[in-house]
């Protein structure tokens, strides 16, 4: 069986991650992360007004607005759930944002509060989201940022592929993204790369801080 070629956005993700080999110091890895952030900012340098706002609204077609808007809410640890209430407020506030954009049917998925998005733990909320997308019920997936949906490339790219197949868009604080448009797909790929890379840095710092004499584990 012929193997399919690696998608262009995934190729870029892999090359960016390769820029920071396993033995690289934190400073080098943070430089790579900064470059990814600059790429995203450069691609989004137009303010969300005028033509940009018009384009975002054009992506919210009447067909999509008739479907369900899913607001996905997640925090990584029970400590964040208890103490970082501002993040919860902003994430739940996306329900009002979906209503403002014209959605009548809105579902909030928050079963993953206190669960990591690294792919190392089960996420029943994310699984329910994927099931709804596969069923063709979802017109848009709302999240405050890419890291809330996933901190690993497997889950992130799987969701992007499914949304593209059923014609759903992803919406965050920066804009509306249609996975079937090459520029939007590139931006989604970069956002996923940055989210995964941030998780790697956080995990390595945590390992180092818990190792004897500060040595990495």
Q: What's the CA angle centered on 98, arms 83 and 87, to 5 degrees?
A: 10
Of 27, 52, 69, 74, which is closest to residue 195 (Cα–Cα)?
A: 74
- The catalytically annotated residue of 4, 76, 107, 209 is 76
Of 72, 98, 88, which is closest to residue 150 (Cα–Cα)?
A: 72
**Residue 113 backbone zone (phi > 0: left; psi -120 to 50: alpha; other: beta):** beta
Residues linked to residue 175 through DSSP beta bridges, in sequence order: 172
107 catalytic residue (yes or no): no
Report the run of H or E that residue 79 belongs to, with start and end: helix 78-83
Take residue 26 and report the two structure tokens written for it.
């934190």
Q: How far apart are CA 21 and CA 25, in angstroms?
A: 9
Q: Show which residues are catalytic.
A: 76
């Amino acid at each position: 069986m012929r193997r399919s070629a690696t998608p262009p956005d995934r190729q870029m993700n892999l090359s960016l991650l390769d820029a920071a080999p396993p033995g690289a110091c934190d400073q080098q890895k943070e430089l790579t992360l900064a470059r990814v952030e600059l790429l995203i900012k450069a691609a989004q340098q137009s303010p969300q007004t005028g033509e940009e706002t018009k384009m975002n609204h054009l992506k919210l077609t009447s067909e999509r607005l008739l479907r369900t808007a899913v607001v996905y809410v997640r925090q990584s640890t029970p400590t964040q759930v208890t103490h970082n209430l501002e993040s919860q407020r902003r994430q739940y506030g996306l329900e009002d944002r979906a209503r403002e954009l014209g959605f009548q049917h809105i579902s909030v998925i928050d079963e993953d509060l206190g669960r990591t998005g690294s792919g190392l733990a089960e996420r029943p909320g994310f699984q329910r989201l994927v099931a709804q997308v596969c069923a063709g019920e979802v017109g848009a997936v709302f999240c405050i940022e890419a890291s809330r949906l996933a901190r690993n490339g497997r889950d992130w790219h799987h969701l992007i592929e499914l949304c593209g197949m059923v014609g759903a868009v992803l919406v965050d604080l920066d804009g509306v993204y249609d996975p079937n448009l090459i520029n939007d797909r590139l931006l989604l790929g970069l956002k996923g790369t940055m989210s995964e890379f941030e998780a790697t840095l956080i995990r390595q710092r945590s390992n180092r801080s818990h190792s004897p004499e500060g040595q990495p584990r």
